[in-house]
Every structure is written in C-alpha cells, then in structure tokens.
Amino acid sequence: MEKRILRLAGIGCGARTRTYCALAARMPDKYLVVAGADPVAERVERVRETSTRPNSFRTFPGAAELLAEEQLADVAIIGTQDRDHLACALGAMERGYDLLLEKPAATSPGDVRMLQERARELGRRVLVCHVLRYTPLYRSVKNLIEDGSLGRILSAQATEGVGTWHHAHSFVRGHWALTAESSPMILAKACHDLDILAWLFGEPCCAVRSFGGLAFFQHANAPVGAPERCSPDCPVETSCAYSALRYLDERRSWLPLIYDRADSATHEEIREWITRSPWGRCVYRCDNTAVDHQILAMEFVSGATATFTMTAFDKGRRLALFGTRASLRAEYGTGAEPLITVCDHETGAITKHPVERGPEKDAYGHGDGDRGLMEALYEEMSHPDPAAMTTSLDTSVHSHLIAFAAERSRLEQQTVDPRDFTNGA
C-alpha cells in the first residue's frame, strides 16, 4: 500500500516555519508543504520555494484568510509570534487541522489550559515544538535514566547560557525584548529546559522559587558618548561586542532571521537598514524588559530537587544529574564536543557516551532537535492517542506551568506550586 503523505500548511512563515518546511522538503516520502500564510508576501514565497510542488502551493496574506478556506492540509504549523499562537491554534483546530505548535503554546496559564481542553474536545493532535526532546543528547540521557544506570535521581543542576550576542539580538533588540508584548523570558527561552527537567524526572514539580532580573543591558551601562543607534561615529564602535555594524560581517548569519532581503541586499542597503531597524539600536539604550539572568529552585512531588540557571553570559546547555547509583554530566552548544559522562559511585569508573551526530551537515541546529522533531512528526501524528506523543500538548502543559510559576515567584517573591494554576489564572 502506498504510504500516506502528510500535508503541511504554514501559518506564519517566519524563521521557524521556514526551517520546518525546508526539513519537510528533504523528506518527500513523508511530507508535502501545500500552503503558507503570512502578511509579508516574501516570507510565504520563501516557503513556497521549499515546497516540492511549488506550482500547486497556495499562498495567503494571513492566518484568517487561510483558515477561511476548507481544510487544505493535515497539519498546520503555527509559527506566528508568541502572542498570536492562541488565536491561530484555536482557529486551525476548529477548521480540522492537527497542529505543530511553536512554543510557548500560549502566554498565560489559562490560555494554555484552554488550548488543551479544546484540543481534547475536538480530538486534535497538538505537537509542541519542544525540539530538545528530539535531540540525540537528551534522548540518550533519558535512556540512561530509564535503564536504571543512574539509580534514583534525587537532584539536578541545569544551565542555559543564551550567549551574549543571541541575548542582545532576541531579548534586548528583538522579538522577545518586551515581556508584556511577547512572553517572559523564562517561558520564551527556557521553557525548553524546564520541559526537559520535567520530562527527565517524569513527575510533577510541586514548588518553584525564582530570582533574577535585568542587570546589564540598561541605560546606566551605556559607554560614555554612545549614541542611540550604532554607527561608525560611536566612540566604542570598534571595541563593542554588540555593535549592530557586526550584522554586516561576522554576525551576518543572524540577518536572514530578521531582514527579508538579507540574502540579496548590498552592503550599503544593510547599512541603511541598520539606521532604521530595531536591531540597529544601542543595546544599552533599548526599551527592553526581559531579564538577563534568572535562577530557579524546584521541588518535585517525590522530594527530588533541581536548580536551573538561565544567563545571557554563557553559551550552551549543561546538565548534571545526581542519582543514587551514578552521576551524569552532559553538555552541548558550549563549544566543546557534545558529550555525556557517567560516573559510577561504587567503582568510580567514568563512562563516556559520545553523542550520535545527525546525517545532515547542519546537525546540531538546536542540538539536531529541529531535524529530530521533523523526523518524528510523521509517526507522532499517527498515534491513535494524541496524549501519547512525545511532546503532546498534554505533556507540555506542566512544563509551561513551571515557567509561569517561576515568573510569578520572581515577581512576587514567594514559592509557587505550578499545579495551583487553574483555568483563567
């Protein structure tokens, strides 16, 4: 029997949807990208170009127009910005689509719960893009826990180093700089890490205490004489690690994420774009509210504990698990080769578990998780029980609630139980 092809439609054809559609095009036995919607026509066009059947690809100027049509695909990719996920996801589910839903699923606990309930009522599969669960590294860690190598995990330490340039690009100048207009950074960036911790422990978190704030990317730290926008006239332009003029050369790879003409623009056009784009502003003179450092202490229902540090001032992810039989350390994206080491308490032996590389040359994009997610999506969408998917909305709700609890704890200076969030919270 011929294998059924899963048809995909992209709602919001920005950076994420383009990545997923480009990966889908490399798996033509599984996927066909049939439609795209975005108010910026060039972005829909870029998705159309990746489709293996560009001539029959349907284009729309927005989610509403695509969803006004009869159902065009099996799965809608919801790749709009954080605040728009809810309306697009509800609309697409009502129209009959299963979802590949970018994180965060929604930006308040009540909205996340509402999505979960509606998905259940309609019987829709909703796969949340927690790409880390699909990485070779975290899969291996999960296997080592499940095969008992570590004994019972009593504590964990995790760190996410966002990276200084990445932080400035996304959380000072960029889409997630204003918490009130997007989502708190602990949700926008670290919901992946909280999701991994909840997944590895395999039990609910019952208490979160969090501290943190914005300390560095502020007006008070602006170099003397630095203007509002980066320019060759800035007295520290050549020495400033954050100069927007770096988008012209060593940071050029970041440009396609935010500038539609990045690939075709001339040097002069990019210079001109820097004079008017939000990404041309001095990082010390923006209106950013996102934190640049935050920590969490967490307790799980069995009494196991974990700490998590999110900082702009480190790069990559590090994880330590302390089990009754052995301890484990893992890292990726830090500059070192991704690696897992396990130290057995009884023998003192240290075992190295090299992390399998993906077949693509862009392996390790999100630790190879983007490719892993697209590899898995086909089978995930065939599960008879939507809740059985690796990153189903049901399994992701709790990790979202941990992020909301952390933000409430940070702001209200109290311990918060994520399970206390109810509808409308």
Ligand X SMILES: NC(=O)c1ccc[n+]([C@@H]2O[C@H](COP(=O)([O-])OP(=O)(O)OC[C@H]3O[C@@H](n4cnc5c(N)ncnc54)[C@H](O)[C@@H]3O)[C@@H](O)[C@H]2O)c1
Q: Cβ 64 to ligand X, closest distance in Å?
A: 7
**Identity of the residue, 67 or 119, whose beta carbon is nearer to ligand X in the bound complex:** 67
Query: Residue 334, SS3?
Result: coil
The least distance separating ligand X from the CB of residue 11, rounded to whole angstroms, comes to 5
Q: Order the strands of the 305-311 sheet from edge to edge.
A: 205-213, 293-300, 305-311, 153-162, 315-323, 326-332, 339-344, 350-354
Q: How far is the CB of 406 from ligand X (least distance, A)?
A: 17
Tell whether omega for the bond before 227 is within 30 degrees of 0, i.e. cis. Answer: no
Q: Which two tokens stand for residue 257?
A: 């994420």
Contact (Cβ atoms closer than 8 angstroms) between residue 259 and residue 276: no
Closer residue to ligand X in complex, CB, 88/153: 88
* Measured distance CA(368)–CA(391) in Å, rounded: 16
The amino acid that residue 219 corresponds to is H
Comparing CB distances to ligand X, the nearer of 63 and 393 is 63
Q: Is 16 helix (H, G, I), strand (E, B) or coil?
A: helix
Q: Tell me how far, at minimum, the Cβ of 316 lies from ligand X, in Å.
A: 14
* 92 or 328: CB nearest ligand X: 92
* Residue closer to ligand X (CB basis): 260 or 314: 260
At its nearest, how many Å lie between ligand X and the CB of residue 33?
A: 15
Answer for the pair 386, 124: CB distance below 8 angstroms, yes or no. Answer: yes
CA angle, 359 as apex, 354 and 364 as ends, to 5°? 60
**At closest approach, how far in Å is the CB of 384 from ligand X?**
26
The residue among 105 and 141 lying less far from ligand X, judged by its C-beta, is 105
SS3 label, residue 391: coil
Please give the Cα distance from 400 to 127 (Å, whole number): 14
Report the sign of the C-alpha dihedral through residues 67, 44, 393, 415, in that order.
negative
Is the Cβ of residue 44 or residue 326 nearer to ligand X in the bound state? 44
Q: Are 118 and 96 in contact (CB under 8 A)?
A: no
Q: Give the residue with the Cβ less far from ligand X, 40 or 350.
A: 40
If you ran DSSP here, which 8-state letter would residue 392 be given?
A: B
Nearest distance in Å: CB 77, ligand X: 10
Shortest separation between residue 367's beta carbon and ligand X, angstroms: 10
Q: How far apart are CA 388 and CA 392, in angstroms?
A: 7
At closest approach, how far in Å is the CB of 223 from ligand X?
30
103 versus 317: smaller Cβ distance to ligand X: 103
Q: 10 Å Cβ neighbour count for 146?
A: 11
Is residue 158 within 8 A of residue 307, CB to CB? The reply is: yes
- Residue closer to ligand X (CB basis): 109 or 184: 184
Give residues in contact with ligand X (CB under 6 A). 11-16, 37-40, 43, 62-63, 79-82, 84, 102-103, 129, 131, 175, 188, 366
Least Å from the CB of residue 347 to ligand X: 38
Concatenated DSSP letters for 111-176?
HHHHHHHHHHHHT--EEE--GGGGSHHHHHHHHHHHTTTT-SEEEEEEEEEE-HHHHIIIIISSTT
Q: Count Cβ neighbours within 10 Å for each residue of 237-260 and write b for 16 or more, e otherwise.
A: beebebbbbbbeeebeebbebbbb
